[in-house]
Structure formats: C-alpha cells, structure tokens
Amino acid sequence: MTKPSDLGPPIKGKPHEPSDEDDHFYKCKICGQPVDMRDLRQVMWHEQPRHERLRPEVVTRS
Ligand SMILES: [Zn+2]
C-alpha cells in the first residue's frame, strides 16, 4: 500500500478559495457596472444617487 511518505515531501495545499469571483460583485442599479464589494471605494461611489461608471483599474496578476 502506498504511504503518503512514498509520494515525496508534503506539498502544502492552498486554503480553498472561491473560484467564482462573481460572489464579490453586485450590479449597480444606477449605472449597471459590477461593483466589487470588497472595495469600499467602489461601493461608496456607487451609493451616490448620480454617478458615472468607474474606469476599470488594470489588475495585475502575478
Ligand atoms: Zn454605479
């Protein structure tokens, strides 16, 4: 029977992250833009009765 130690050193797993980024977004009722709930700047901006869409920031993923 294969033991875990036969497979080599332990490989640390990542904690589960939701793969569905949409969980963090809601659609603004005013401008229709997806708002990232994790970013209060965006949330507060879209709370305003009148506002324009925000320019999407360039997200750098490393
Ligand atoms: Zn909005």
Q: How far is the CA of 57 from the centre of ligand 1 (A)?
A: 15
Tell me what pLDDT residue 10 has. Answer: 84
d(CA 4, CA 21) in angstroms, rounded, equals 33
What's the 51 CA to ligand 1 centre distance in angstroms? 6
**pTM score of the predicted model:** 0.56
Kindly state the tokens that stand for 5.
């130690």
pLDDT bin (cut points 50, 70, 90) of residue 18 is: low
What's the gap in Å between 32 CA and the centre of ligand 1? 6
Say which range, 4-13, 16-25, 26-35, 53-62, has the weakest mean pLDDT. Answer: 16-25
CA-nearest of 61, 11, 13, 56 to 31 is 56
Cα 17 to middle of ligand 1, angstroms: 27
Give the C-alpha separation, 51 to 59, whole Å.
22
Strand locations in 1-62, DSSP E? 25-27, 34-36
